[in-house]
Amino acid sequence: MAWMPKLVVSTLAFIRLTLAATIPQKPLAAVQDERLTSPTSSTPLPLVVWHGLGDNYKADGLRSIGSLANSTNPGTYTYFIRLGDTPSADRTATFLGNLTEQVQKVCHDLSTHPILSRAPAINALGFSQGGQFLRAYVQRCNIPPVHTLVTFGSQHNGISEFQNCADDDWVCRSWDGYLKRNTWSNFVQSRLVPAQYYRNPEDLDGYLESSNFLADINNERDVKNANYKSNMKKLARFVMYMFSEDTTVVPKESAYFAEYNETSDEVTKLRDRRLYKEDWLGLKDLDGRGRLEFRIAEGGHMQLSEELLEDTFRRYFGANATKDDGG
């Protein structure tokens, strides 16, 4: 069965959401925690879930996933990240907001949570854009520390196209034009969430100069953040799923940090990129220790079967799995 519906971006929603102003935030300095990332008992580590675009923390699909996590690994405490006090506000935050501010809020919420803050470590599961946001959590704060990070269809290397509007949706199409013409403006980069992980290989200068989020967490600028690499290297395992028939995320290979050149139709795999060879994020280190996995999920974007999720929970989030990872 499909647990998560395919996400269709409504640009009309962007228009409504931009009526609320947001305040640009200063970059968040990375901090480190010296606690070990290994569990100390046979109880499964808490599971933190960050949902994708257009979803909310109380969605039935997410709650079903939480139930499945507990039935697969009894005793699992599941926490759904929320950026709004209501489901509506949380959904709004998936479209509109400053990602630096949002990640900072999550860092605070998790580090002060009465259960999560006392855990030796947590496991993390990111759906679509929630995957790269959880990676930002690992890199920028990581308190409590993440043991295993699993992402499904995430845009680790960004998107090179925004979602298309319906032919008869003229309001959406007019806003879509504005978004594409003003991608690197401060207004767009500090307010529209998908724009903050937009990355067009044919406009890297604009991206490196103006990207509010992705260029930073991918450590692509000249001055590298050593803590980002250090925190990523602490992961016991980093698992990336790409959907085989994904047409929502362009390019779909972004789920693997791969780069797609639309002009030549060539895909540069992660291991062939400078990001990996010079190990800007510690991915080469993780790979060398057998802690980096590339996996395929059959079907379209966020079409997840119960069987796949159950296998993921058992394979990566069970108490035995953390022991096998050295915990």
Known catalytic residues are 128, 246, 301
Rounded to 5°, the CA angle 47-51-52 comes to: 155
Give me 238's structure tokens: 């980093």
Give me 308's structure tokens: 């796949």
Helix or strand run (H / E) with residue 125: strand 122-127
Give me 167's structure tokens: 């032919």
Given its phi and psi angles, is residue 37 left (phi above 0), alpha (psi -120 to 50 degrees) or beta?
A: alpha
For β-strands 259-261 and 78-80, DSSP reports them as unpaired
> Distance of CA 49 to CAs 119, 122, 141, 156, 291, Å?
16, 10, 17, 17, 20
Cα pseudo-dihedral 261, 134, 301, 166, rounded to 10: -80
Phi, psi of 244 (to 5 degrees): -65, -30
